[in-house]
Every structure is written in structure tokens, then in C-alpha cells.
Amino acid sequence: MVAIITLSIFLYARCFHLLLSLWQQHERDDAAESFERRENLRREAEDLRDTFRRQRLALGALIAAAPLLGLLGTVSGMVRTFESLSSTTGQKSMAGLASGISEVLVATESGLAVAIPALMLVALAHWQMHRRIQKLNTLERQLEGIA
């Protein structure tokens, strides 16, 4: 669980950093309009794509790691459960079994609970990046019409 919590802190910090950088890029988009220069708009769009690509690779690895850590917790919980069953009898074995199953379910749930919302945040960031690039392309086409 400690590994999943640590991973979630890094993962969500990076997700929010990505969303913040895209939001800041949006602020620069508005400033780019006043420059009325196509090359600035192209550079802004390329910077936006690069920012997203760099962050997406790291985020993808962290998102994939969360369920795997949950699976690792599941396996270790099952090992403890079977050890508990082999070493005790009667009521103690049922308590050990219940405790082990609980640990297994919590580990699996935790890994998925970390990964799924982070995946949705990355999808939101992708949608936001795509929308910004469309806006920059529209501005560039408008400037071509003026020039």
C-alpha cells in the first residue's frame, strides 16, 4: 500500500502539472493573437505538442504501474492467506482467510482506484491540447487570409 500511495502522489502531481502547463499555454495563445505572426503560432502549437508528448510517456508508465502494484499486493495477500490456512486450524483459519481476502481486495482496488482517474485526467489533457491546437491553426489560417 505504501508503494501505491507514493505512486499516486507522483502520478497526480504530474497529471496536474500537465493540466496546468496546458492551461498556461492557453494564456499564451491569447497573447499570440496580438503578435499576428504565423511562425509564432506554429511554434506555440509545436511547443504544446512537445509538452504533451513528454508528459504522456511518463504518465503512461505511472498509470500502468498502479494496477501492477495492486496485483503485487494481491499476490502477496494470497501468499499470506495460504500461509495462514496451512499453519492454523478451525476458527483461526477462518479469521486468517478473511483477513487475507480483505488485504487482496484492498490492494487490487487501490491500484485500480489510482489508475482509472489518472487515465481520465490524461484523456482530459489530450482533449484540451487538441482543442488548443485547433485554435492555433484557426488563428494561423486567419492570419494567412490577412497577409
pLDDT tens digits, 102-147 = 888 898 999 999 999 999 999 999 998 888 888 888 887 877 776 5
Cα–Cα nearest to 92, from 80, 100, 84: 84
pLDDT of residue 87 exceeding 80? no
**Distance (Å, whole) CA 56 – CA 63:** 10
Cβ burial, residue 89 (10 Å; 0-12/13-18/19+): exposed
Q: Per-residue pLDDT averaged across 10-24, rounded?
A: 87
Query: Mean pLDDT of all residues in the chain?
Result: 82
Q: Report residue 109 as a C-alpha cell.
A: 482496488
Asked if 18 contacts 125 with a C-beta cutoff of 8 angstroms, the reply is yes
The whole model's pTM is what?
0.74
End-to-end CA gap in the chain: 59
User: DSSP character for 90?
Assistant: T
Which residues 6+ apart lie within 8 Å of 139 measured at CB?
29, 32, 33, 41
Residue 32 has pLDDT above 50, yes or no: no
Residue type, 67: P
pLDDT at 26 (0 to 100) = 62
Q: How far apart are CA 92 and CA 137, in angstroms?
A: 68
Cell of 123: 484523456
Per-residue pLDDT at 89: 64
Q: Which residue has the cell 476458527?
A: 91
